[in-house]
Amino acid sequence: MSANAVSVLPGDELGAALSPSVRGVAQGQCHRIPVHARFEGHSVPATLAVRDEAHCVLEVPAGLYSANPEPFTVALCFQQCLHRPQVPVNMQGRWSGNDRACLELVSCGSRPAYLNERDRTDASLRAAARSPTLFNRRLTVQLHYLSPLNGAFEVLDRDVVIVPGMDLELQFNCPWSGLAMVRAQVLGRFEDQGRFLCHFRVLDKPSSTAVALMLLCQRRHFSFDSLPVALRKSPAIGRLIHVAIIEGTGAMDDLLTCRLAANRHYGRLEDVQDPRVLWDEWDPYAIQVCARLGNKCVGAGRVVVNSGYRERCEIEMSTPLPQWLWAAGFVEMSRVAILPEYAGHHVMLALLRELGRITLHLQSRYIVLDAIDLLVPIYTRLGAQCLPISKKHPYSGETVRVMYFDVGRLLSHLDWHLPQWLFVFGPTIGHSVHRQHISQLAAQFRVSATGIRVKRGIARALKKLMG
């Protein structure tokens, strides 16, 4: 047969046709990994190679061979790593029986106890992985467990075996939190339902933060309570929250569920089982707003547009509002609700900014709302004022104060509450008040156009300063 001839073999005989010297080379990708090994009082450079899914071979300098058949612990430090100082991993090994200076290491063990069932991931969570040990080959891994500190994955590239001690850079691309780079060190391998999984630890704080922010958008039960204390106040969380006006049955179900959960946290509506009973007579006249982390509805609120009809105002049905409010025109902000596990300023800020933006879009002079005693000082610092009237809470019957925001005055006046007001509503005025419309807006609200320009300029400068 000539050199150019092609011989065709049945599919099941292709592997058998390979020369014994090259057969199985793909297993582990034929890497000889430089490591530093410590065992039985020795600390020497060595070379690690993959033998199969559960075993490795460690070649050590000649003269160290021992005939002792008992297994012992070998600590390995990889020379090609992503972090300093190198952190050793322990493996069980024993001397091979061929009089060579080789150790047979067991790279597969039992499932580690620190892997929590709450950390199980969705089957669709995958990442691209690279390792300096594997000559920067690009692997695809599927995550089975993931937390900000550790996790476990399955390598989908069957011709590569990951070895305990190896460093990896995992690249996630979450549709909500964006690109995340996570440095990890493989600590061991274990078998789970017929699949070999690699469990790992997260190497550094930036990687741990990236995982936490991603899980905040990905996992239903991962909330602010799951975050490190220092991260809970980070502005990075605020950038993950997206707020939108919603409509449709599915979205409204999420919103009403959020409304029910938030009120139950305060001891209200404990006998209500179906969130849809909270849909009331003012919801058809309301612009509904939902704050989300990923697909999770974590906060909600509404702006009720009364169009001058008193029966469309919930507060008016309980206690009459001053005539000057009706003459100037107002909208009603109500049913602001935040899931208790996401309590804090992040979600509230996002909701208030969107509700303020809607009010500017509607060109309403006033925002009217009711507030429990706990929230009155917070709204006051943002520029709200109390009316000399009160009403009963619709769910609990407790007395609440009726307050209002004078949008025109807040847009044009400077006072000692300016820092707090700019922090909350600065992004709104910078976005929604356009330079060419300032004179028209000032005339409509009967306020100073110069004051609006000054406040808008401060808001835009603050936005650039804070990024």
Distance CA 115, CA 192 (A): 12
Q: Are residues 102 and 127 in the same domain?
A: no
Read off the pLDDT band of 11 (50, 70, 90). very low
Q: Are residues 50 and 187 in the same domain?
A: no
Q: Which domain holds residue 176?
A: 117-235
Q: Which of 211, 235, 259 corresponds to the end of one domain? A: 235
Distance CA 333, CA 304 (A): 6
Read off the pLDDT band of 6 (50, 70, 90). very low
How far is C-alpha 307 from the geometric centre of its chain's CA atoms?
A: 40
Q: Are residues 293 and 397 in the same domain?
A: yes
Residue 429 lies in a domain: yes
Q: What is the CATH number of the domain that holds 78?
A: 2.40.10
Domains of the chain: total:
3
Q: Are residues 205 and 253 in the same domain?
A: no
| pLDDT value of residue 388 | 94
| pLDDT value of residue 290 | 95
pLDDT tens digits, one per residue of 209-233: 999 999 999 888 899 988 888 888 8
Contact (Cβ atoms closer than 8 angstroms) between residue 11 and residue 23: no
Residue 314 lies in a domain: yes
Distance CA 270, CA 100 (A): 73
pLDDT tens digits, one per residue of 39-88: 888 888 988 888 777 788 888 887 777 767 788 888 988 888 888 787 88
| pLDDT value of residue 456 | 85
Kind of pairing between the strands at 42-50 and 55-59: antiparallel
Residue 16 lies in a domain: no
Q: Are residues 70 and 217 in the same domain?
A: no
The average pLDDT across 102-118 equals: 82
Distance CA 62, CA 66 (A): 11
pLDDT tens digits, one per residue of 304-340: 999 999 999 999 999 999 999 999 999 999 999 999 9
Q: Which of 190, 213, 235 corresponds to the end of one domain? A: 235
Distance CA 313, CA 304 (A): 7
Q: Are residues 99 and 190 in the same domain?
A: no
pLDDT beyond 90 at 366: yes
Q: What is the CATH number of the domain that holds 399?
A: 3.40.630.30
pLDDT tens digits, one per residue of 396-413: 889 999 999 999 888 888
Residue type at 175 in one-letter notation: P
Q: Which of 201, 235, 269 corresponds to the end of one domain? A: 235
Q: Are residues 253 and 367 in the same domain?
A: yes
| CA distances from residue 109 to 90, 199, 416, 420 in whole angstroms, order as listed | 11, 11, 64, 56
| pLDDT value of residue 100 | 66
